[in-house]
């Protein structure tokens, strides 16, 4: 079992491992396995990268993210410029149907609306936006269009867990109601919890995944 101080040390090392990040700009505190990140970074992409890196660390139960995004004068763009760059990027990505996406920018906060057929499309669109200069926050309201559900969807997802090396299929319970998949049980880490959710999202016809998996990794509070 990791103590909070051990988790803090590991998180700081993981942040240093990320070439994009300057770990000295990010403060890390831990209480009962809950990690709080604080400080100032100069892009929204760095903010999300720091959060993802933290979630990879074993023992982390949750992340409270208080990082602030502040741009240097040379990187500041107005909302019209940001919107034009976003639309141009979406247009030139052959995997994205840009006509299905609506973009709104307000003081650097980008709101995405529209409808796609798969979760990976929704995530791909967001990834095209979050690294752009001037973006302070991305609100992804894109809906996933319901598809045709296989009759044996529950078993297909369970089989996918059994094939996945990072998931302990015996400890994950799967239930399906309509187009919603609910995952419950216990996993060993946040990374396994995230991997399990990605497996469920990969199933055809799924429009929502309720991830109720608990991280079974007790932490000794200092």
Q: Is the same domain home to 192 and 160?
A: yes
Instruction: Work out the number of other CB atoms within 10 angstroms of the CB of residue 173.
Output: 14
Residue 210: inside a domain? yes
Q: Is the same domain home to 199 and 158?
A: yes
What is the DSSP secondary structure assignment for residue 189, as one 8-state letter? Answer: S
Q: What percent of the chain has pLDDT over 70?
A: 96
Residue where a domain stops, chosen among 20, 54, 69? 69
**Number of domains making up the chain:** 3
Q: DSSP E strands: which ranges in the chain?
A: 26-31, 34-41, 62-69, 101-106, 109-116, 137-140, 143-144, 172-177, 180-187, 208-211, 214-215
Q: Is the same domain home to 36 and 95?
A: no
Residue 101: inside a domain? yes
Main-chain dihedrals φ then ψ at residue 59, nearest 5 degrees: 95, -20
The percent of the chain in helix, strand and coil, each rounded to the nearest 5, is 40, 30, 30
78 has pLDDT over 80: yes
Q: What is the pLDDT of residue 221?
A: 38
Structure-block tokens of residue 14: 């993981």
Average pLDDT of 9-14? 95
Q: Tell me which residue range forms the domain holding 128.
A: 74-144
Whole-number mean pLDDT of the chain? 89
pLDDT band with cut points at 50, 70 and 90 for residue 48: very high
pLDDT tens by residue, 84-99: 999 999 999 888 888 8
Q: Is the same domain home to 94 and 117?
A: yes
Residue 59 CB partners (closer than 8 Å, separation 6+): 2, 6, 7, 10, 33, 189, 217, 219
Is residue 174 within 8 A of residue 203, CB to CB? The reply is: no
Q: Is the same domain home to 78 and 111?
A: yes
pLDDT tens by residue, 117-134: 899 999 999 999 998 888
Q: What is the pLDDT of residue 176?
A: 92
- Domain harbouring 166, CATH code: 3.30.1340.30
pLDDT band with cut points at 50, 70 and 90 for residue 217: low
pTM: 0.74
Main-chain dihedrals φ then ψ at residue 217, nearest 5 degrees: -150, 75
Q: What is the pLDDT of residue 75?
A: 65
Q: Is the same domain home to 140 and 185?
A: no
């Amino acid at each position: 079992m990791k103590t909070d101080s051990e988790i803090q040390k590991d998180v700081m090392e993981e942040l240093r491992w990320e070439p994009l990040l300057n770990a000295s700009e990010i403060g890390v505190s831990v209480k009962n396995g809950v990690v709080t990140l604080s400080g100032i970074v100069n892009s929204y992409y760095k903010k999300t990268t720091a959060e993802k890196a933290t979630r990879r660390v074993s023992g982390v139960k949750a992340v409270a993210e208080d990082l602030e995004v502040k741009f240097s004068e040379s990187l500041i763009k107005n909302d019209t410029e940001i919107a034009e760059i976003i639309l141009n990027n979406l247009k030139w990505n052959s995997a994205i149907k840009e006509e299905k996406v609506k973009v709104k920018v307000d003081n650097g906060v980008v709101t995405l609306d529209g409808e796609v057929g798969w979760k990976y499309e929704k995530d791909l669109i967001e990834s095209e936006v979050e690294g752009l200069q001037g973006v302070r926050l991305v609100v992804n309201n894109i809906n996933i269009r319901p598809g045709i559900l296989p009759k044996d969807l529950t078993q297909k997802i369970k089989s996918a867990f059994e094939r996945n090396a990072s998931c302990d299929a015996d400890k994950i319970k799967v239930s399906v109601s309509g187009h919603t998949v609910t995952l419950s049980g216990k996993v060993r880490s946040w990374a396994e919890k995230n991997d399990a959710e990605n497996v469920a999202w990969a199933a055809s016809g799924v429009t929502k995944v309720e991830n109720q998996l608990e991280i079974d990794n007790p932490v000794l509070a200092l």
